[in-house]
Amino acid sequence: MKDSGFGSFLAGVVIGGLIGAAIGLLLAPSSGEEMREQVGGFVDERRAAFDDAVNEGRLAAEQARADMQDAYDAGDGGDTASAEAAG
């Protein structure tokens, strides 16, 4: 009886698939649930940092606006044409 090699090939594919699946499970960094938790924690940290940066920017803008308003109120009202005509 002559063996065509197809049975050996099929056995090799099945055994290789099982070995690959086992190695994949052993070397996987974490389960799907653990990965979602890690990603969720990372996103929450970045969101908090972004919110802090936005709040700092908003406070700085409000302070700059208040400083400009105070400077405007303390000056001649920004009317440089009337100041030049008077001087």
For the chain, give every domain's residue range: 6-77
Window from 35-39, 40-44, 54-58, 70-74 with minimum mean pLDDT: 35-39
Instruction: Please say if the pLDDT value at position 57 is more than 80.
Output: yes
Q: Please tell me the pTM assigned to this model.
A: 0.47
Inter-CA distances, 4 with 10, 13, 16, 82, Å: 11, 16, 20, 104
Q: What is the mean pLDDT of residues 58-62?
A: 90
Report the pLDDT value the prediction gives residue 67, as an integer from 0 to 100.
93
Report the pLDDT value the prediction gives residue 1, as an integer from 0 to 100.
45
